[in-house]
Amino acid sequence: MYSDREREDEMEISYCKYYLLKSFPESFINERDELIAHKRSNTYLCLADCKKPIDIECKVLEWFSRSASKGMPYSQEWRNKRFRGFMLDGINDFLETDFTESDMEEIYQHLGNSINHEKTVQFIESGYDFKVLEDE
């Protein structure tokens, strides 16, 4: 049996997944509960272990910040710029932010690949205050 809180969390996760799909056009969630944000570049993140919306928000920053700032899946630079723009737009749409490519570079440097998950949580809970990233 689910508690009321568990039901609420599950509903919130479902909403987050729906909003992720809207934020990254042509994305999909596969049978392994992975969001494939960009099929051609195989840019994805695993949603299976996300229990609350903040878990998804953290993963978007930790795993997509590199693609939004340094991604180069194509041999032509104009396509790479378009790809980075697509990823940045999706992140900003999902998180309701206005990050720049430069911001994504800083986020990747401090939080990318889940290098410091607690700091990612602090960054989100602070309302995306970049001073949090500078604190050691």
Query: Higher confidence at residue 1 or residue 40?
Result: 40
34-70: pLDDT as tens digits: 999 999 999 999 999 999 999 999 999 999 999 999 9
Residue 23 parent element (H or E): helix 4-23
- The per-residue pLDDT of the chain, averaged, comes to 94
Rounded Cα–Cα distance for residues 86 and 77 (Å):
14
pLDDT at 136 over 90: no
Rounded Cα–Cα distance for residues 81 and 106 (Å):
18
Domain ranges of the chain: 4-134
43-46 sheet: strands from edge to edge: 28-29, 34-38, 43-46
pTM: 0.93
Q: Which amino acid appears at position 13 of this protein?
A: I
The contacts of residue 132 (CB under 8 Å, 6+ apart) are 119, 122, 123, 126
Helical H segments across 24-100, by residue range = 53-70, 77-95
